[in-house]
Structure 1
C-alpha cells in the first residue's frame, strides 16, 4: 500500500512538472504571438497612415503624420522602412513643400525618425540627399517657431545619420547657420529671429559639429562664430545663453578656437591674431564666470536660473582646469556615461528629439548603440537578460564615433591646458 502511494505521488509530481513546463512553453508562445500581433498592428497603422498622406484634405494628412511619428517613437518598424522608406520620404517631403505649419513640422520630424530608424547606410544617405533642398527652401520662408525648430531638427538628425562625407555635413551646418545669418538680396529685409529659433539653430549647429574634424571646415564660413556666440551670452533668454555656452565649450574642447576666429591651419598665426584670440578668450571666460554666479532678477524662473548656473559652472570648470562634466543615464540596465562636451551635446540632442521614444530607441536602435558605445541588456521571452559576446565586441569597437571623439579630445587636452596657462602662441606654432 505504501509503495502504491509513493508511486502515485511520484507520478503526480511528474505530471505537475510536465504541466509546469507545458504552461511555461505555452506562455512563451503566447508572448511571442502577442509581440508579433502588436508588430502587425503597428505595421497596419503605418500602412493606413501612409495611404492617408495621399489624400487632399490637410487635416487627415496631419492626423496621419502624427500617427506615423507616434509609431516610430514607440517601435522600430524595420520591415516597414525596408519596404516603404522611399514612399514615406517622398510624401513627407510633399508635406514639407506644400503643407501647413503643423503638417510641415510633423513631416520634418518624421523624416528625422525615418533616418534614425534606417540607421547608417544607403537609405539614410538617400534620405539626407533628397531632404536637403526642400528643407532649405522651407526654412527660407517666414514661419512659426515650431515649424522652423522641427525643420532644423529633422535636417540635423538626418545629417547626423546619413552625412557620410564631411562636405555633406558642413553644407547642412551652413543651411542651419543661414537661418540666423541669411544671405540677403537687394529687396529682402532681414527679420530678427526669436530666442526659440536662435536656440534651435545653435543647438543643431553644435550637434553637427560634434561629428566634424574642425580642420576640415571652411574657415571663411565660421570666422565670426565665436564672436557671435559670445554676443549671445549677453542675451536675456537663458536657453539662448546655455546653447551658446555649450557651443563655445565644444569649440574649445576640439582645440580649434583659431579655426573659428579666422585662421586656417596652413595660414600660420600672426601675433595680431594671437592677441585677438586671447582677448576673445578672456572676454568669454569673464562672461562664463558672471553667468555661473548670476543672481535671480525680477520675474526670473528659479529652475531656469539654476540650470544656467549649473551649466556655466561646468563650462567655467572646463575653461579654467580642463575638467569636463560627467553624466550618467541608465539604459536597459546599463549605464551610459558621457565624459566630453561632444558626447553630452549628442546625448541631449537625441533625447530632446526623441522625447518619449528616447528609452525605446536607446534600447533597440543599433545605430545609437554604435554612436554611444553601449550594449543594453535584452530580455528574452522568458524574462532572462542577456548580452551576446558579439554585441559586446561590436559596441566596444574602437571605431565607434564616440570613441573617436574621445581620442580627439584627449589629444587636445595638453593644448587646452597650455591655453589656460597663457601659452597660446607657442601652441599655435607647434600646430
Structure 2
C-alpha cells in the first residue's frame, strides 16, 4: 500500500539506471541512425519513383498530362542535382523534351525548353552536354523564329545554357550567338524578312543570352568592323529602348569593352606611345574612341535619370545602379564588385569582373530559388565561380546516405559523450555537497 519507496530503493534504482545509461544511449543512437538511414532511403526511393512516373507521363497523348509531368520535372531539377536519376536516362529525357517542344502547346514547349537547360546544367561538361547542344539547336532554332514570345524567351535561355555548357569551341558558340543577334538586330541578316522586330521582352532575353555567351570569348576573334557595328547598334538601344532594354544593352556593352575592346585599345595605345615617329592613329581607333565617349555620355545620363509620377522606382533604381557601375568601369576602369553568401561551409561567392557578374546574374535568373542548392552541390557551378564543392558534391545517392548516416552517428556519439561528462560532473557535485554536510 506504500505510495512511495524508501530513499534506499530510490538510490538503488538510480544506480542501476546510471550503470546502464551508456548502453541504453548507445543502443538508442544505433536505432536512431538506422531509422534516419531508412527514412532517407525511403525519401530517395520515393523521389526516384515519382520522377519515373513523370518520365512515363511524357509519352502520354494528353497534353495536360505531359504539362503536369514537365512541371514536376522542372521543379525537381531546379531544387536538386539529380545526377543519379539522369545517369542512364539523359538522352531519353532529352528526346521527350524535344518532342514536347515540337508537338505541345506554348506552355508545354516553354516548360520543355527550360527542362532541357536544367538537364544540361545537371549533366555538366562532357560528351553528354555536347550531344544535348547538338540535338537541341535545330528544334530550338525553328521555334525561335516563329514561336510565341513566351516560348521564344524560354528557348533563348535554353540555347544560352546548352551552348555555354556543351560547346567545344568558339565556332560553335559563335553560331548560336549569330542566331541570337538575328533576333536583336533583324536588319543585320542577309535575308530580309527572316526575322521580325522583337518585342521588348524577347529583345531583353536575347541580349541577356547573347551577353552570357560572350563571356566565354577569349581574345579578339571577330573582325573589328563587326564589333563596332554591334557597339553602335547597342548604343542606339541606350537611347531608344525601354528601361529593361537599356540595362541589358548596357551590360552587353560593358562585356564587349572588358573582353574585346580594352585589350585592343591598350595594345594600339602602347604602340603609338612607344613609336618615335608618332604615326597617325588608325581610323578605326579614332572612331572607337569617339564611340566610347558617346557611350560614356549616355551612360552618365542614365545613371542619374530623374524619376517622376508613375515611374517604377524599383526598375529606375536598378537602372541607376547598373549604369553607375558601367560609368565607373568605362571612365575610371573600376570593375563591379559583388558578393553572395552561399553557405556556412562554402562562404561567400564574389565577383570582380563584368564577365563573372553577367554569368552570376544569368544563372541566378535561370535557376531561380534553386541557385543556392546548385552552387553548393553542382560541380559545374562550383567550377565556374571557384567555389569549394560540399563534401557530398560528387557522391551518388547511396554514398550520400552513408555519408549523412556516418555524420549523424558522429554527432550522436558527441552528444552522448557530453551527456556522460555532464552526469559525472553532476555526481561529483552531489558527493561534494554531502561531504560538506557530514563535516
TM-score by length of 1: 0.80
Q: Distance in 2 between matches of 1:155 and 1:384?
A: 45
1:220, CA displacement in angstroms? Answer: 6.2
Partner of 2:434: none
Q: Deviation at 1:82? A: 0.7
Which residue does 2:384 correspond to in 1? Answer: 371
Q: Does the 8 Å CA contact 2:183/2:197 hold for their aligned counterparts?
A: no
Give the 3 Å change call, closer, same or farther, for CA 67–217 of structure 1 in structure 2: farther
Q: What is the aligned residue count? A: 378
> In the aligned structure 2, how far is the partner of 1:232 from the partner of 1:22?
70
Structure 1 residues 255 and 86, CA, compared in 2 at 3 Å: closer, same or farther? Answer: closer
The equivalent of 1:229 in structure 2 is 234
SS at the partner of 1:328? strand
Structure 2 counterpart of 1:87, from 89, 92, 110? 92
Partner of 2:348: 335
Q: 1:17 to 1:237 in 2, by over 3 A?
A: farther
- Cα distance in 2, alignment partners of residues 222 and 304 from structure 1: 29
Report 1:165-204 matches (<5 A): 165-182=169-186, 183=189, 185=191, 188=193, 190-204=195-209
Counterpart position of 1:307: 318
User: Structure 1's 271 and 91: CA in aligned 2 closer, same or farther, altered over 3 A?
Assistant: same
In structure 2, stretches of 5+ residues that fail to align are: 1-6, 269-279, 393-403, 412-439
Partner residue, 2:104 = 99
Structure possessing the higher radius of gyration over alpha carbons: 2
* 1:52 paired residue among 53, 57, 73: 57
Residues 184 and 207 of structure 2 are in contact (CA less than 8 Å); yes or no, is this contact kept in structure 1? no
Which of 368, 371, 388 is the aligned partner of 1:355?
Answer: 368
Contact 1:332-1:376 within 8 A present in 2 as well: no
Return the alpha-carbon distance in structure 1 between the equivalents of residues 103 and 379 of structure 2: 34
2:228, 2:288 within 8 Å by CA — same for their partners in 1? Answer: no
**1:215: how far off?**
2.0
1:158 and 2:162 equivalent?
Answer: yes
CA-CA distance at 1:285 after TM superposition: 0.2
Correspondence for 1:397: none
Counterparts of 1:220 and 1:132 in 2: how far apart (Å)? Answer: 28
RMSD, aligned α-carbons: 2.9
Residue aligning to 2:36: 31
Match in the other structure for 2:151: 147
Corresponding residue for residue 20 of structure 1: 25
Deviation at 1:249, TM superposition (A): 1.0
Query: Are 1:326 and 2:331 matched, yes or no?
Result: no
Give structure 1 stretches of 5+ with no counterpart: 264-268, 387-431
Whether 1:134 and 2:147 are equivalent positions in the alignment is no
8 A Cα contact 1:331 1:376, kept in partner: no
Q: Provide the residue aligned with 1:40 in structure 2.
A: 45
Q: Against the structure 1 CA distance between its residues 25 and 270, is the aligned structure 2 distance closer, same or farther, given a 3 Å change threshold?
A: farther
Which residue in 2 is equivalent to 1:405?
A: none
Which of 284, 297, 304 aligns to 1:293? It is 304
- Does the 8 Å contact 1:223/1:259 carry over to 2? no
The equivalent residue for 2:422 is none
Q: Give the direction of change, closer, same or farther, for the CA distance of 1:306–1:3 in structure 2 (3 Å limit).
A: same
Q: Answer 1 or 2: higher relative contact order, Cα 8 Å, separation at least 6.
A: 2
In structure 2, the residue matched to 1:424 is: none
Preserved contact between residue 184 and residue 190 of structure 1 (Cα < 8 Å): no
